[in-house]
Chains A and B, each alone.
Chain A
Amino acid sequence: MNKIALAWVGCALALPAWAAPNHVTVRGDDAGFQLLLDGEPYFVKGMNWSYQPIGENYRYVFWEQPDAFIEAALRREMTLLTAGGANSIRQYPDIPPRWVEWIYDNYGVSTMINPLVGRYGAEIGGRWVAETDYSNPATRTALKAQTLEAVERYKDTRGVLFWLLGNENNYGLTWSGFEIQNLPEGERDAAKARYLYSLMGEIVDAIHEVDPHHPVAIANGEVQYVGLIKEECPHLDIMGANVYRGMTARDLYQVVEDTLNLPFVYTEFGADAYDAKAGTEDHVTQARYIVSQWEDVYENAYGRGVGNAIGGYVFQWADGWWKYKQEENLDIHDTNASWATGAFAEDYVEGRFNMNEEWFGINAVGRPDVDGHFDLFPRAAYYALAEAWKLDPYDPKTTPEVVDAHFGAIHPGHYDQAYRTALAVGQVDQLSRAFVSNVRVEMSTFATTSDRVRGMGKERFSFDHLESFYVETEAHPSDTFRAELSINALGHVPTNRIDAIFYESRGRDLVGVDPDGADVDLSDLERIKIYRAAFTWEHDQFTLEGFFRKPHFHWGYEGDFFGLYREANYGPNVDMYNGDVPIGVELTGKRSLEGLRVAYGPEVYWGANPAVFAMYGRQVKGMHLALIHQEDLAPKGTVETTFAVPEQVTRKTALSAEFKLGPANVELGGIMAGTDRVGESFTRVVEATGDDGYEGSGYHVLTDEIAFADTLGTRARVDLPLGPVRFLADGAYKGLVADGGVDGTQHFTGWTLRQSQRGNQVGGSAGLGINLGSLQVAPNFLWQKPLVGPLPNVDDRWDGDTGWYYPGVTPRNVLDDPFAVLENRETTGFEFLLAYDPTPGTWMWAWDNEMREDASFAASLDLTYRIQPTSRDSNFGFLEDGTLFSFDAAPPAQDVWDARAKTILNPRGDLRLILGAYAGTAQAKGSDERLITRGGGDVKVRYKSMAWENWVKLHDWGPYDYHQDYNNTYPLQVISDLSGGLTAPRLGTRSMRLGLAAKYRILNEFSEDFATRPGDPDALGYEFEIGTYVFVSL
């Protein structure tokens, strides 16, 4: 026999000892009655317990919820219940037997099973009968069968204490019939009651026949018809009743003893916690009543007083917000009383109801979280009962004097503060589920002038102001769900700013024309706008994040080797151009879904078409494999800026592997993209040799088609650390339409020279990082070349003599052609990077380094030179009316260089200096041929909470995308901003600040808004703006 078999035998032997139903009996002698549970006296410290979240009513069935939900709720509830000393609950026969056992096994709490015996109607002969006629033979048969069916279901269940039949059925004798109506009016109810009790008696007997282990009680309304009960229920084991007599039951025990000679259990008793007279909650008085009622029980328990009290079930465990009207105002704690009794004298007023059904809980109820669970807030009665129940009524030392002293020492008022504190904590928790997290007020003034404004002195200035308000809210409906919403509202929007495009400019006066030609004021259309929204749901198997104008990261480090899912972090641009991006949802798998990433949305990054992205990555034998797919669903409709022009709808799939090869980290990948463009035609040119080519252009022009091979691409990257030297090589070959996205991953240094991820190219980069102590020297090299070069401009021509037309050739663009040569233009680039950073923990190349760098001195110098022997295809621009168009040409082949230096100084803890300088040459994004040579720098000083920031640009583009598109440059641009606040500026927060800001620009013929001065064609223009701002952030 092996060990497993032995274990089985052990279990089998042990089974009867703990798996059998409890044996419950009633013992009576001269001292009174006791309930015995498995032979031991059992004083019933019971509770009318139920679980009903606010907003639900009697239709809510707790036991039909998922097991995990039930168990989580029971763990909270039963822990509190037993901590308060209770040992039994009352349940209708909808509780699954396994939960009866679970509660008993885990918490020692027994269950009184309560078939209702037609109290609120019954199903008779297959149909629902609302008014139970206990005289009807069919009804009697059905009710008896239904009750016995319940008994059969539970009788072998551990934890069942006894059977309770009905619930004040004597108050529901409403049926009428020929036989009843013939009786004198005063006898009708008694006649009906006899039918009721005779049925009860039959059922009691029937239960006894099938279940020898559990006694039977009834839940009578008070002790009404107790004589009939004696006559019709001769074998009843326990008399039970719902009793609301105030402080004590007075003669109740004696009546039961004298009439029935049975033990008595309260099936309901208690008091409400609302003072109907004062119109306020009064849980201390409730506790006083309940303590007094239990003192009464103790005084009449076995060995004392009448001796027949065996305990009771307090009504009730928690408030039921549904009880008044039952179908209405389910989420309102109704304060309407619905019945009256003078037994509760404190709030009794003749002619008015004083019993508030929704306030009978010894616990107040909190609002449910998203899972449906809720908190309870114990009232004074809970604490007082816990204290009361500490006394063992069956201890021989528990004399009447001891009972008196014990209960006399309980002062419900002492628990008032505990309840109020718990309630306050709960209310704070409730409020923290949805709250205003911040309010920001931004108020600015602007005084502007330019050479175009005529006048003298102050008349030259125009003055305007801006008010912008943000309300930021957060919601935490549960520990696993969080949402935020930020709304912007506009006050006045200025019209005089020299930078006319800004977030609030959407609210400028706007006049439209209706179909009848009348002006329509459209100014208020966007005065209130959602600034940002997001949510996060932490599920067991995944994290789901929704974002609207909230940045998200790329998946480059998880295996998106071709950068399909791009990082969406646009800094001030997203406000400047009023982009409602990114918008979408992102799912990150956990546990069994580990490695899965899914994103979906109308524009998950700026310029994205509506699309779904899915990636799955996992470790396989020392190698991380990742598969990603992008499926565009439709073209994006609008374009806000030319740096985020959506490309054609397409699909892309990429597979990558990352593994160690000796000390080297190797990444390999393949991509298939643009398969839907196979067969599309495109134009290309080849240099003409021996003739002038097409239309004298020097090129032959060919029409070609995208083939399947053009959709394929591959990429490899090796990162090899060799002591103080680290080597990085990256190479790719990509077919004409095998476009990747943007590689957002960081290297070990801050190189700017990177191979484009666009298709139609072959190339690679290689660089070294040589670490000499705190100094890093990092040379880098790039070469890339398109497989099919850009198109030159060839004008079309009509030959009227022959009737032949010679179509022109214009550069391609990404919307009208299957591919275009843009940032993948032919380039041979060299880069030399020097960095000195003695504290690499605050990485010099981190985006937030200006705030975080903690070295007393850190600096970098980056020099790049790009040899560009050919041009590129066409980019897009906006016309003044917002129309998007493709430039008909591109700047010529031109080499460019760039130099950038940056220094961060922290001479003392509260002072920081940031110095930057740049110079170089650059080409327009549009078609302008002029190569600009630009330079500039910035000086930022931060001292304690003060900040003084200055920028200077020489012959550089203006602040907007179209300045670069159209090659609009300014001889000089200066910005200075001095501000102070309560705290130093911090990342990610808008602290309270007061500031003074100024902008000055010199204009020449390349500048926007430049106007040649009549009579002085060489004169330069200027524009100037100075203003103040106040940012108030709570």
Chain B
Amino acid sequence: MRNALFLLLLVGCAEPAAYQYGLDLTELEFVPYSPDEGVYPDESVLVDPNNPFAGGIGDQAKWDVLASGPVHGFYAMAQSLVQIPTGEHQFYTAYAAHGIYAYELAEPEDLYMVYDIAVRGYRTVLEEFIDDVTYDPSGTYAWYVAPLAYLGLEELGGDTSGYALITADDGTLTVVEVP
């Protein structure tokens, strides 16, 4: 009997293992966790209880999630931005926030914060990742993300000072720093 008790003590009273299934994200809502969430180099998305991808998101899944809408896309891209800080991830995070703001997919009292995240996210692309590119789904053609961020900033009335959008002869858009 004493041995059995000792064994019980050793084994403890841990919960039985739980099988892992998918997560139903149909009801996912955007609730900003911090004013800097989704703006490099902030990493608060990792501890945001509303982030369903905090355990990591894969390369393919992030695009699929982004395509399903700005709320899911924000968390997928903000998570990717922390995993691999690139201009591409920063741009799409800001782009998703832009969408949440434009379509008012957050509580009204949170919308200004979402707007600010989008503006600062675009601005961060210019300041930190001006030479980064994004690719088409085939991975063949690349575009600079800075012009897209610049246009996003203009659309939101954000601060573009210090940068200029230039159109080359072939129609390619480029952002350059101006004194």
Residues of B within 8 A of A (CB): 9-12, 14-15, 17-26, 28, 52-53, 55-58, 60-61, 64-65, 67-68, 72
Contact = CB atoms under 8 A, between A and B. Distances in A.
A404 B17 CA distance: 108
Interface string A792-832: 00011111101111111010000000000000000000000
The 4 tightest CB contacts between A and B, nearest first, are: A803-B26, A707-B14, A701-B20, A702-B17
Contacts of A800: 64, 67-68
Given A709-B11, A709-B12, A802-B26, A796 B58 contact: yes
Given A708-B12, A796-B57, A805-B65, A703 B52 contact: no
A702 B56 CA distance: 17
Of B12, B52, B64, B68, most buried by chain A (CB within 10 Å of CB) is B12
Of A805, A806, A810, most buried by chain B (CB within 10 Å of CB) is A805
Contacts of A944: none
A798 B65 contact: yes
Interface of A: 678, 683-684, 694, 700-709, 712, 795-800, 802-808, 810
A703 B23 contact: no
B12 A707 contact: yes
A678 B26 CA distance: 34
B60 A805 contact: no
A804 B23 contact: yes
A683 B12 CA distance: 19
A913 B14 CA distance: 61
Contact of B56 (A705, A798, A808): A808
A833 B57 CA distance: 48
Contacts of A709: 10-12
Contacts of A803: 24-26, 28, 68
Contacts of B26: 802-804
B25 A702 contact: no
A1001 to B, nearest CB: 32
Of B26, B28, B68, most buried by chain A (CB within 10 Å of CB) is B68
B58 A705 contact: no
A797 B14 CA distance: 30
A888 to B, nearest CB: 9
A684 B17 contact: yes
Given A709-B12, A800-B67, A807 B23 contact: yes
Nearest to A797: B61
Nearest to B65: A798
A164 B2 CA distance: 83
B61 A795 contact: yes
A556 B56 CA distance: 41
A799 B22 CA distance: 10
Given A800-B67, A806-B23, A807-B53, 8 more contacts: A701-B20, A702-B19, A805-B22, A805-B23, A805-B25, A805-B61, A807-B22, A808-B58
B85 to A, nearest CB: 10
Contacts of A799: 22
A877 to B, nearest CB: 14
B143 to A, nearest CB: 24
A110 B44 CA distance: 82
A711 to B, nearest CB: 9
B60 A703 contact: no
7 contacts: A702-B20, A703-B17, A704-B17, A704-B18, A709-B11, A709-B12, A808-B61
A216 to B, nearest CB: 83
A810 B59 CA distance: 13
Given A684-B17, A702-B19, A705-B14, A804 B58 contact: no
B24 A804 contact: yes
B19 A701 contact: yes
A32 to B, nearest CB: 96
B10 A712 contact: yes
A707 B11 contact: yes
B20 to A, nearest CB: 4
Contacts of B64: 797-798, 800
A805 B26 CA distance: 9
Nearest to A678: B12
Contacts of A678: 12
A703 B60 CA distance: 24
A759 B18 CA distance: 23
A806 to B, nearest CB: 4
Contacts of B12: 678, 707-709
B120 to A, nearest CB: 20
Contact of A804 (B9, B11, B25): B25
A995 to B, nearest CB: 45
Contacts of A684: 17
A278 to B, nearest CB: 74
A521 to B, nearest CB: 24
A797 B23 CA distance: 10
Contacts of A806: 21-23
Nearest to B20: A701
